[in-house]
Amino acid sequence: MHSVVKSIAVACLTAILTAGAYFMIGPQIMIIVPVAVLAGVVLAFRRSFLSLVCFGYPFTFGLVSAVIGCSEITGYERTAPFIVSVLIGIAGVGLMAAGLWKAMPKRTNGTANGMAQQSPGGDSPESLSGE
Protein backbone atom coordinates (compact mmCIF):
# COMPACT_ATOMS: atom_id res chain seq x y z
CA MET A 1 0.00 0.00 0.00
CA HIS A 2 2.85 2.37 0.77
CA SER A 3 4.27 2.12 -2.76
CA VAL A 4 0.83 2.99 -4.21
CA VAL A 5 0.64 6.16 -2.12
CA LYS A 6 4.24 6.99 -3.04
CA SER A 7 3.46 6.47 -6.74
CA ILE A 8 0.44 8.76 -6.54
CA ALA A 9 2.42 11.44 -4.72
CA VAL A 10 5.27 11.29 -7.26
CA ALA A 11 2.85 11.42 -10.19
CA CYS A 12 0.97 14.41 -8.76
CA LEU A 13 4.12 16.36 -7.88
CA THR A 14 5.69 15.63 -11.26
CA ALA A 15 2.54 16.78 -13.06
CA ILE A 16 2.41 19.98 -11.01
CA LEU A 17 6.07 20.77 -11.68
CA THR A 18 5.69 19.98 -15.37
CA ALA A 19 2.68 22.31 -15.61
CA GLY A 20 4.78 24.91 -13.81
CA ALA A 21 7.11 24.99 -16.82
CA TYR A 22 4.65 27.45 -18.35
CA PHE A 23 5.95 30.00 -15.83
CA MET A 24 9.23 30.03 -17.75
CA ILE A 25 7.63 31.70 -20.78
CA GLY A 26 9.12 35.16 -21.09
CA PRO A 27 12.11 36.89 -19.53
CA GLN A 28 11.69 35.10 -16.18
CA ILE A 29 13.38 32.07 -17.74
CA MET A 30 16.63 34.00 -17.28
CA ILE A 31 16.10 33.80 -13.51
CA ILE A 32 14.35 30.45 -13.07
CA VAL A 33 16.85 28.30 -14.97
CA PRO A 34 20.03 29.57 -13.22
CA VAL A 35 18.35 29.28 -9.81
CA ALA A 36 17.21 25.73 -10.58
CA VAL A 37 20.67 24.71 -11.81
CA LEU A 38 22.40 26.35 -8.82
CA ALA A 39 20.00 24.61 -6.44
CA GLY A 40 20.70 21.35 -8.27
CA VAL A 41 24.45 21.78 -7.82
CA VAL A 42 24.07 22.58 -4.12
CA LEU A 43 21.77 19.60 -3.58
CA ALA A 44 24.11 17.35 -5.57
CA PHE A 45 26.97 18.24 -3.22
CA ARG A 46 24.67 17.38 -0.32
CA ARG A 47 23.98 14.05 -2.05
CA SER A 48 20.26 14.68 -2.27
CA PHE A 49 18.11 13.15 -4.97
CA LEU A 50 16.20 16.43 -5.14
CA SER A 51 19.07 17.63 -7.33
CA LEU A 52 17.54 15.53 -10.12
CA VAL A 53 14.32 17.50 -9.73
CA CYS A 54 16.20 20.80 -9.98
CA PHE A 55 18.15 19.66 -13.04
CA GLY A 56 15.07 18.20 -14.72
CA TYR A 57 12.81 21.20 -14.24
CA PRO A 58 14.42 23.43 -16.92
CA PHE A 59 14.26 20.56 -19.43
CA THR A 60 10.47 20.40 -19.08
CA PHE A 61 10.36 23.63 -21.05
CA GLY A 62 10.89 21.43 -24.11
CA LEU A 63 7.28 20.28 -23.77
CA VAL A 64 6.11 23.88 -23.56
CA SER A 65 8.09 24.68 -26.71
CA ALA A 66 6.48 21.74 -28.50
CA VAL A 67 2.96 22.84 -27.52
CA ILE A 68 3.60 26.44 -28.55
CA GLY A 69 5.11 25.28 -31.84
CA CYS A 70 2.06 23.13 -32.58
CA SER A 71 -0.31 26.01 -31.92
CA GLU A 72 1.62 28.54 -34.00
CA ILE A 73 3.07 26.55 -36.91
CA THR A 74 0.95 24.36 -39.15
CA GLY A 75 2.43 20.86 -39.48
CA TYR A 76 4.99 21.44 -36.72
CA GLU A 77 4.22 18.06 -35.14
CA ARG A 78 5.76 16.36 -38.20
CA THR A 79 9.15 18.06 -37.90
CA ALA A 80 12.41 17.10 -36.24
CA PRO A 81 12.43 20.16 -33.90
CA PHE A 82 9.09 18.99 -32.48
CA ILE A 83 10.45 15.52 -31.78
CA VAL A 84 13.60 16.95 -30.19
CA SER A 85 11.54 19.29 -27.99
CA VAL A 86 9.31 16.45 -26.84
CA LEU A 87 12.28 14.18 -26.09
CA ILE A 88 14.02 16.92 -24.09
CA GLY A 89 10.80 17.56 -22.17
CA ILE A 90 10.26 13.86 -21.47
CA ALA A 91 13.85 13.57 -20.24
CA GLY A 92 13.18 16.44 -17.83
CA VAL A 93 9.98 14.83 -16.58
CA GLY A 94 11.85 11.55 -16.13
CA LEU A 95 14.60 13.24 -14.11
CA MET A 96 12.02 14.93 -11.89
CA ALA A 97 10.05 11.72 -11.35
CA ALA A 98 13.21 9.74 -10.52
CA GLY A 99 14.40 12.42 -8.12
CA LEU A 100 11.05 12.63 -6.38
CA TRP A 101 10.78 8.84 -6.15
CA LYS A 102 14.20 8.52 -4.52
CA ALA A 103 13.67 11.53 -2.23
CA MET A 104 10.37 10.27 -0.79
CA PRO A 105 10.78 8.79 2.69
CA LYS A 106 10.99 5.03 2.95
CA ARG A 107 8.85 2.95 5.22
CA THR A 108 10.89 1.47 8.06
CA ASN A 109 10.04 -1.27 10.53
CA GLY A 110 12.64 -0.28 13.14
CA THR A 111 11.99 1.64 16.31
CA ALA A 112 12.07 5.41 16.25
CA ASN A 113 13.89 5.81 19.56
CA GLY A 114 16.84 3.59 18.62
CA MET A 115 16.26 0.98 21.35
CA ALA A 116 17.44 -2.52 20.64
CA GLN A 117 14.74 -4.99 19.69
CA GLN A 118 14.61 -8.39 21.29
CA SER A 119 15.14 -11.43 19.12
CA PRO A 120 12.19 -13.81 18.56
CA GLY A 121 13.73 -16.33 20.97
CA GLY A 122 13.54 -13.86 23.86
CA ASP A 123 17.33 -13.54 24.20
CA SER A 124 18.63 -10.12 25.12
CA PRO A 125 20.87 -8.35 22.61
CA GLU A 126 23.77 -8.49 25.07
CA SER A 127 23.70 -12.28 25.26
CA LEU A 128 23.70 -12.55 21.49
CA SER A 129 26.81 -10.41 21.15
CA GLY A 130 28.72 -12.48 23.68
CA GLU A 131 29.10 -9.83 26.37
In a domain, 41, yes or no: yes
112 lies in some domain: no
Q: What is the mean pLDDT of residues 47-56?
A: 86
Residue 22 falls inside a structural domain:
yes
- Print the domain residue range for 102: 2-106
Indicate whether 131 belongs to any domain: no
Q: What share of the chain in percent tops pLDDT 70? A: 80
State the Cα–Cα distance between residues 69 and 81, nearest whole angstrom: 9
Q: Looking at residue 20, what is its pLDDT?
A: 83
Mean pLDDT of 104-131: 56
What pLDDT sits at residue 88? 92
| 114 located within any domain | no
Q: pTM for this one?
A: 0.70
Burial (CB count within 10 angstroms: exposed 0-12, middle 13-18, buried 19+), residue 89: buried
With respect to residue 65, please indicate whether it lies within any of the assigned structural domains. yes
**Per-residue pLDDT reduced to its tens digit, 16-25:** 888 888 888 8
Measured CA angle at 45 (ends 64, 7), to 5 deg: 50
Number of domains in the chain: 1
Q: What is the pLDDT of residues 3-19, one digit of tens each?
A: 788 888 888 888 888 88
Residue 56 placed within a domain = yes
> In three state form, how does the secondary structure of 61-92 look?
HHHHHHHHHHHHCCCHHHCHHHHHHHHHHHHH
Residue 115 in domain: no
